[in-house]
Every structure is written in structure tokens, then in C-alpha cells.
Amino acid sequence: MLPRNDILDAIRRYTDPYRITKGKDFRLKDFDPGDTLGLKMDKAEAAESLRRGSEWLAMEQDVLYAQDSWSVLLVFQAMDAAGKDGTIKHVLSGVNPQGCDVFSFKQPSQEELSHDFLWRYAVKAPQRGRIGIFNRSYYEEVLVVRVHQELLKAQKLPPKLVGKGIWDERLADIARFEDYLTRQGVVVLKFYLNLSRKEQKKRFMERLDKPQKNWKFSASDVRERRYWDDYMRAYDEAIRATASKDSPWFVVPADNKWFTRLVVAAAIVEAVEKLDLQYPKVTPDQKKDLAAARAELEAEK
Ligand code: ATP
Ligand code: MG
């Protein structure tokens, strides 16, 4: 086996090109959805690399759970058919289900609309020791709600508070919310699965062509394609306003699913590894208790 530092260097090869920690000069169009770093892998090779990544993640998750202090929040955002569901399923396949929680955020309910916009997300933030996964997230509040401004009306805000600056204000609130989580020991990682418009069409066509994929098809997804450029602008601004060293964005190429999964797995492994977690040490008092328990068991007939 390679020494730990060499493995981490290898992992960084997959993450460095896609990690955004400063938004200032960020432009989505500088990132190629089809990028695979020049790597060509067959299915078996890619699956084997991903298996190793997921295995490592499973080990890390075990320590995370045992030390019961840090937690991790993984935020997934993307256009339809970019592969959020599959990525979550494959990357986290080895992790103990008791240590992680997945939440999919859809159109808000009447109750949710009656609260401040972060409310429904804040209550689902991960407990200490756990990995929380947001399949869509509070970012929808500056993406779909920004693209379809009639959704904002349904949020019952006092009209006086709805001005031109509302999107910048929301983005600032989100950045602050993430700072807050960071200071509470929640490591926040954000993934934008960067799918090209062309590949999205191909995937929609596949859903129409293959009967076993028909269930995934939704006519409204095709309607949403008309707003592609508006979404790209909204993503651009969201990433620019919220990328930071502590809660980076990863703009992950998404036209090749095997590559998407490798980059996401690498980013999570790297972030948890940085915490340098250890299993809790047994104190001298606890050692005495353990010895007493052993003596009691041994004394049984
Ligand atoms: P999939 O299509 O793979 O099942 P999905 O995440 O697209 O996954 P859908 O049920 O198709 O799930 O769509 C959920 C919809 O809810 C999305 O169109 C999303 O934009 C919308 N949505 C999420 N959060 C909000 C929000 N805060 N306000 C309005 N719409 C939202
Ligand atoms: Mg959908």
C-alpha cells in the first residue's frame, strides 16, 4: 500500500482543479463539463477506484461517529439529469446507514412557506458525528426562486423587504449561515454537478427511448431547459458569493458519470481526512471499569 501522504496527493489531483474557495473571479464557463483530466477508464477500473474511495469514506465515517463532535454536510445542486441521485447512491454506498441522513428538498409546503427561508434546511443540519446529505438545498432559494420569481411571492414576505437587492441579501445570508455551521463544527462541502446542455438532452432522450427509464422522465424538466441560461447566471452568482476556504464549492464535471463520482468521493475523503480524527481515548477510570467488567464476566459460571 502507498504511504498516506502519497494517497492524499493522489486524491488532490482529482479535487484541486474543481475546488472553488474564492468567488471573486469565478466563471462557470471556464469549467468543462466533459473534463476527465485526460483519464480514460473502463467501467471496471472506474468502479474499482470508486470502491476504494467509498471504503475509505466508510472508515472515516466510523471514526466521525465515534468521536461524536464534528459533522459533515454535503450539499448537492445541479440541473436535472446531472446525476445527483446516482452520485449520492454510489459514493456513500459503503457508509453505515446509521451514521448518515439524506434529505431531498422539493417544492416547499404551506407550513415551510410560512417560515423564514432557511428554516426548513436548518432543522435538517446534521447532528454531531454524522454525515448529512442535502439533495437540493437552501441554494434553491437563489436558483429556482430567482429564475421563477412568482415563487418568491408565495413566500409571504413583507413587500417592503422585497427589493432589487434581495438575491444578494439572500446570498449573504447563506454565506453567513455556512460560516455559522463551520464554527459549530459542521464541515460544509458544496457540489455543483456541471452538466452540459447537450448531455442533458441526450439523457432526457434516453429516458424517452428506454422503457425501463420512462419513469424518470418528467415533461416539466424539458420545460425547465428553456431557462438554462437564467439558471447558469444564477449558479454563477451563487458560487461567486458563497465559495470560501471553509465551505468550498466543487464544480464537478458531470458529462461522464464515472468521473463525477470519483471527484465527489475524493473531495469528501480529503475533507474528512483533514480533520485528523481519532477514536476516543479510554481514560484511566474507564480502564478500571473495563477491568471490573471483565472480572465479572470471568467470574460467571
Ligand atoms: P429527480 O428529478 O432526480 O427525482 P429532483 O431533485 O429534480 O430529483 P423533483 O421532484 O423532480 O426532484 O423536483 C423537485 C423540484 O422542487 C425541483 O424542480 C426544484 O427546483 C424544486 N424546489 C426545491 N426547492 C424549492 C424551493 N425552495 N422553492 C421552490 N421550488 C423548489
Ligand atoms: Mg427532477
| CB-based pocket (< 6 A), ligand 1 | 80, 85, 104-108, 136, 140-141, 144-145, 151, 218
- Angle at 90 (CA atoms; ends 86, 95), nearest 5 degrees: 135
CA of 184 to the centre of ligand 2 (A): 32
Q: What are all long-range contacts of 207-215, with beta carbons under 8 Å and residues at least 24 apart? A: 207/81
Cell numbers linked to 157: 414576505
Residue type for position 276: D
Nearest CA to ligand 1 atom 7: 80
The count of domains in the chain is 1
Residue 2's pLDDT band (cuts 50, 70, 90): low
- Domain range for residue 57? 4-299
pLDDT at 45: 87
pLDDT at 6: 81
Q: Which residue has the higher pLDDT, 80 or 1?
A: 80
Pocket test for ligand 1, best of 80, 103, 107, 139 (most atoms within 8 A of CB): 107
CB 28 within 8 A of CB 231: no
Nearest CA to ligand 1 atom 29: 107
Cell 432522450, residue located? 205
Number of the ligand 1 atom closest to the C-alpha atom of 112: 27
Predicted confidence (pLDDT) per residue in 231-246, tens digit = 999 999 999 999 999 9
Name the residue among 261, 245, 265 with its Cα closest to residue 253.
Answer: 261
Average pLDDT value for residue range 154-165:
96
pLDDT at 179: 98
**CATH label of the domain that carries residue 114:** 3.40.50.300
Edge-first strand listing for the sheet containing 249-253? 19-20, 249-253, 186-194, 71-78, 131-135, 100-104
Give the chain's mean pLDDT: 95
Q: Is 221 helix (H, G, I), strand (E, B) or coil?
A: helix
Predicted confidence (pLDDT) per residue in 195-208, tens digit = 999 999 999 999 99
Q: Which ligand is nearest to the CA of 141?
A: 1
pLDDT at 269: 96
Exposed e or buried b for every residue in 238-251, given b needs 16+ CB within 10 A?
Answer: bbbbbbbeebbbbb
pLDDT at 103: 98
Average pLDDT value for residue range 128-132:
97
Over 70: is that where the pLDDT of 104 sits?
yes
CA of 124 to the centre of ligand 1 (A): 17
